[in-house]
Amino acid sequence: MLRYFDQLGKRKRAQATNLWNEPADDTHMERDDDRELYNLLQKRARLRRGSEGYRRLSFDISAHRHIRREVKDRWRQILEVLGFSAEADGLLDITSTASYSSLRQPLQARQLLTALAEQTSLFDHHCSLPERYLFVLDRLLVLDAGDDFLSAARHYYPLEAEEGPPSEEEPPSQEAVLVTLSPAPQGEEEEEAAVMDEESLLVKLIE
């Protein structure tokens, strides 16, 4: 029994590290980006730790995770602006137990997700929309904060922010202040050491 709960804890930490964009998909095969990351993890789990091939795969895995972590950090910053500093971790914690049948306002959440993709720079526009944030928006709608989140995202992460840095005549944007004040993520090497064994376990569990 203790081993069972230990495995569940490790799997949850691995999910928090990989930030699967389709959390309800235990196979990680439905989305191209999740499948690519999962296949990299599978390949690395079969290599000797510290080998050249292992290090190359670790670099690719870190790049995938970095993109996902950046998106999550932007969401956290908006939540903090709206006064949800204490609740941010809970609101952003989406695991494989998430199910679409549990959504309270799925249509409104989907509309907000689409609006955020079209009107803000919260997401990496080279990838399809991360479904995990549909669940976050549903929680915000229950708290009557969905429209406030969209308005704040438009303000701090407008689409034009991706076109280039502001001119010298423009005052520093509040977005820059948010990014500066955001706590830096832990070093990638520390993160890798913490979840290597968990990823191997995840591969075995899914297989």
pLDDT tens by residue, 2-53: 665 566 666 777 888 999 999 999 899 999 999 999 999 999 999 999 999 9
pLDDT(91) > 60: yes
Separation of CA 79 from chain center:
14
CA distance 67 to 63: 7
- If one compares 31 and 185, the residue with the highest pLDDT of the two is 31
Residues with Cβ within 8 Å of 125's Cβ and at least 6 positions away in sequence, in order, are: 117
Measured CA distances, 187 to 49, 50, 61 (Å): 18, 17, 14
- If one compares 196 and 95, the residue with the highest pLDDT of the two is 95
Q: Return the pLDDT at 16.
A: 86
pLDDT class for 142, splitting at 50, 70, 90? very high
The 3-state secondary structure of the chain, one letter per residue: CHHHHHHHHHHHHHHHHHCCCCCCCCCCCCCHHHHHHHHHHHHHHCCCCCCHHHHHHHHHHHHHHHHHHHHHHHHHHHHHHCCCCCCHHHHHCCCCCCCHHHCCCHHHHHHHHHHHHHHECCCCCCCCCCCHHHHHHHHHHHCCCHHHHHHHHHHHCEHHHHHCCCCCCCCCCHHHHHHHHCCCCCCHHHHHHHHHHHHHHHHHHHC
> pTM of the predicted model, to two decimals?
0.76
CA distance 131 to 133: 5
CA distance 72 to 124: 11
Look up tokens 């390949």; give the residue: 43
- If one compares 26 and 62, the residue with the highest pLDDT of the two is 62
